[in-house]
Amino acid sequence: MWRRHCTAVLAALLLAFPGHSAWAAERADETEVKAAVIYNLLLFVHWPARTPPAGSFRFCVLEDGALTNALRHHERKAVRGQALEIRLVGSAPEELDTCVAVMVEAGNPGVLARLGVLTRDRALLVIAEGSDAVDRGAMIGLYTHSGRVTFDIDRGAMKRSGLEPSSRILQLARTLTE
Amino acid sequence: MQSSWIFPALLIATCGMPQTLLAADDVTAMNLDDLLRVEVQGASRYAQPLTEAPSTVTVVPAADIRRFGFRDIGEALQSARGVYTSNDRVYSYLGVRGFSRPGDYNTRILLLVDGARSNDPIYDQALVGNEAPVDIDWIKRLEFVPGPSSASYGGNALFGIVNAVLWTGADLNGSRVSLDASDAGGGRASLLSGGRTAAGLDWVAGISAYQRRGGDLYFAEYDSPGASDGVARKRDGERYLKAMLKGSWQNWRGSATFSQRRKNVPTAYYGTVFNAPGNFVQDTGYHVDVARTSTLAEALDQQLRVHFGHYAYDADYPFAGDLNRDVTRADWWSAEWQLTWTGWRRHRLLAGIEARNYARLEQRNFNLSPRVDNLDDRHQGRTLGIFVQDEWRFAPGWLANFGLRLDSQTTAPTIASPRAALIWHPRDEITLKLMAGSAFRAPNDYERHYGDNGISQKGNPDLRPERIQTREAALDFTPTPTLRLGIGRYQYTLRDLIDQETDPADDLLVYRNRDRLSASGWETDIEMMFGGGWRVRGSLAWQSIDQPGGEPVNSPRRLGKLLVDGPLTSLGATLGVNLQAAGPRRSLLGSVAGHVTGNVMLRQAPRRGHGLWSLGIYNLAGNRYRDPLGAEVAPIDSLERDGRQWRLRWELEL
């Protein structure tokens, strides 16, 4: 019996004792970094003067997942002179009426296409996880590339909704769609 | 032998461990430029290939599982268009695209748990009822990818993949306790906890226990005056215990799941004594999965994964004057190495190799007293698969996806499974997909070797692999934010289908390759949102299978579904209504009528720190409907499904 399993055990041991590390890079939890990037991105987007309507900067999420939990670490911090509020909403359109931004976590296909249709006439920033999120209809797509968090921006979609990204984040975006 | 060179490769590939991990506080204080320089550990590599799959994916999120009160994976999947279930009071069976054969243990559906294969290697069975490897409440999201996926996953993925994505610690960030009471003396207790420590260890632990005494069941087939009144009294009991431990730290992740389910069998199948005690099956399985993701170079990521699996099947068959027993054991492990390269603009290339080693494939059958060994079959086996895939965004709004996998195994020649898809997304409202692919399933150990010395069944070692070729088109249209329409057309051809039949020469059940079978169908669905958070989803499916010998068994030509949910603000609760309709189906000897059933779920709105109640009534109208059964249950040809059932649940989030 042992002989049957020994190759498998060996493989597990090999996995458990990794090799060299050339340099001690600063590392962090992907979700925490993504949440911090999202918070920072909000500081570099200009909304039309009449938004946001609520007393707080209402950032809506569709799912109570890991990224949402990480974003809660930024709750009450200031965005455009207002306190950041994380609000869980369903996917019904009227629930999004009071939101100024909405985020879709990874693994929620289908929702983005609908949000794309929904945001055409209003200043709602759509942020989503995934390297193809912008192709699927997000304005900002967040993902990891080569072990670092990066983002794409669909500037055309933002402009159509009356949103203006600052030149700072346009420079930092990995891919920019006009 | 063929897998011996994988391990040096695994060794070479493990490099570059992180030395320091920033605390969450450090990260929240950083500016954008610095954040983009920080190296991160992968979080969701498991699920990504599926969500980008070239298929019409249906996702059942945990919110729907709760709102509609789905009690198992099969029930949740039944909300997807074109999916139906049947049940023989031993296991739950999934029907997809009109296909669900008696004697087929969900062998043509691949069940993944966090991306890891969970079908056992003896029966190839995807367990989707209470016998499933994971508890429905551990699932954050259930993904159903219809169509052939052998190009990515190898054998079994003929009609689709089901991927159960479990909660992470960061998702849960606390504990969930639930207590259920249900009809026929049913009860369940469950605890699920998870969190993420300051050092970055993400952990989840869960345990669930369930028991149901079961009611009395009447079978007209056994109602013969003087012998039996046809009632199986308390012979339908069931219990399970499931446990799970899952964790991730830096770029490592691991999980261990355990499930044991025992079910009493009231149908006197295989000619056992009707209403006898001790007629049961027990399925036990555990899985251990360890994976590591890392970046090898700019734009080149890798994932390594090692998986151990164990499956045990124990069943007692009380025959007149004798007790017969099945003892089946399987141990296997697999290793997979996957590379993703995004360095070529507009392409995302994926290549990988997967080796599986079946260290123990053991089937035994014997009579207890006097001890007579009818079957003592022990085998080993291995498979090796290599696969490549490219996702090519060749023009704005266009995506092409090509995949090819080669599988070689001890029981079948090398098989190539190609897949291609073209996706056009010209504007937000429209997505058009054209897909073609093929998939296979090699005959399993049970089909090849199970025989009980002339009692009920014999093996057929000469079976050939079965193959499917599918062509599919799907259109998704979202004309307004509150309306989505989907329509799809598919055609498939199955060659060398492995099907159960009775050999007229000796009256024994045996699996044989059948002639070519072809099928086609339409599926359409609609989703509408209304004011106040109400949502209506409906779907229709028309399917027809053309095969020699006439209409196939257990294949409804029409399926319809209607799901409505929304808040009842005045009650502080949500309502979920789930209607399922299926057309008539042929059975082995006759037919069963079409049916409509409805489930209603009322659930208090959640408030963290406060308990909440929910009540589900299943088959509300108490409609009587039947499922066709396999030949092993003769003289019963079809079986009545449960009438009205209920489940009262109390849950608490801490």
3-state SS of B14-33 is: CCCCCCEECCHHHHHCCCHH
Please tell me which residue of chain B has the smallest CA distance to A96. Answer: B533
Interatomic CA distance for residues B466 and A30, integer angstroms: 43
Contacts of B308 in chain A (CB under 8 A): 8
CA distance A44 to chain B (A): 10
> Which of B31, B57, B480 is nearest residue A40 as measured by Cβ atoms?
B31
For residues B238 and B33, the model is more confident at B238
Is pLDDT at B151 greater than 90 in this prediction? no
A18·B15 Cβ contact <8 A: yes
Is pLDDT at B330 greater than 60 in this prediction? yes
For residues B274 and B20, the model is more confident at B274
pTM: 0.82
Q: For residue B418, which of B471, B355, B474, B343 has the smallest C-alpha distance?
A: B471
> Which of B14, B22, B333 is nearest residue A8 as measured by Cβ atoms?
B333
> Which of A21, A36, A118 is nearest residue B30 as measured by Cβ atoms?
A36
Is pLDDT at B38 greater than 60 in this prediction? yes
Mean pLDDT of the region B41-49: 39
Residues 6+ apart with CB under 8 A from B479: A117, B429, B485
Contacts of A95 in chain B (CB under 8 A): 533
- The DSSP string of B24-75 is HHHHHT--HHHHTTSEEE-S-TTTHHHHT-SS--EEEEHHHHHHTT--SHHH
Handedness of CA B90, B91, B92, B96 (dihedral sign): negative
B431·A113 Cβ contact <8 A: yes
A37·B52 Cβ contact <8 A: no
CA distance B197 to chain A (A): 11
A69·B359 Cβ contact <8 A: no
Is pLDDT at A11 greater than 80 in this prediction? no
Interatomic CA distance for residues A103 and B501, integer angstroms: 53
Please tell me which residue of chain B has the smallest CA distance to A24. Answer: B19
Please tell me which residue of chain A has the smallest CA distance to B382. Answer: A4
Interatomic CA distance for residues B466 and B444, integer angstroms: 11
Could you tell me the two tokens for B395? 């023009």
Which CATH number describes the domain made up of A29-177? 3.40.50
Please count the other Cβ atoms lying within 10 Å of the Cβ belonging to residue B491: 15
B360·A130 Cβ contact <8 A: no
Please tell me which residue of chain A has the smallest CA distance to B342. Answer: A145
Q: What is the pLDDT of residues B441-498, one digit of tens each?
A: 999 999 999 998 888 899 999 999 999 999 999 998 888 777 889 999 999 999 999 9
> Which of B143, B299, B359 is nearest residue A146 as measured by Cβ atoms?
B299
B529·A91 Cβ contact <8 A: yes
> Which of A29, A106, A108 is nearest residue B48 as measured by Cβ atoms?
A106
Q: For residue B461, which of B440, B433, B442 has the smallest C-alpha distance?
A: B442
Is pLDDT at B340 greater than 90 in this prediction? no
Is pLDDT at B11 greater than 60 in this prediction? no
Asked if B448 and B470 count as a contact pair (C-beta separation under 8 A), the reply is: no
At A144, give phi and psi (nearest 5°): -100, 140
CA distance B289 to chain A (A): 10
Q: State the pLDDT at residue A136.
A: 76
B27·A144 Cβ contact <8 A: no
The domain defined by B6-15+47-653 folds into: Maltoporin; Chain A (2.40.170)
A29·B26 Cβ contact <8 A: no
B39·A26 Cβ contact <8 A: yes
Is pLDDT at B547 greater than 70 in this prediction? yes
Interatomic CA distance for residues B334 and B356, integer angstroms: 4
A21·B18 Cβ contact <8 A: yes
Q: State the pLDDT at residue B5.
A: 42
Contacts of A15 in chain B (CB under 8 A): 10, 14, 290, 292, 304, 306
Q: For residue B138, which of B51, B259, B46, B55 has the smallest C-alpha distance?
A: B259
Please give the mean pLDDT across all residues of chain B: 89
CA distance B647 to chain A (A): 25
Asked if B654 and B607 count as a contact pair (C-beta separation under 8 A), the reply is: no
Q: Is B387 helix (H, G, I), strand (E, B) or coil?
A: strand
For residues B619 and B252, the model is more confident at B619
Angle at B281 between CA B278 and CA B287, to 5 degrees: 145
Map out the domains of chain B as residue ranges. Answer: 6-15+47-653
Owner of token pair 């057929």: B460
Could you tell me the two tokens for B384? 């090796």
Q: State the pLDDT at residue B626.
A: 96
B21·A69 Cβ contact <8 A: no
Q: What is the pLDDT of residues B183-229, one digit of tens each?
A: 999 999 999 999 988 887 889 999 999 999 999 999 999 999 988 99
B32·A10 Cβ contact <8 A: no
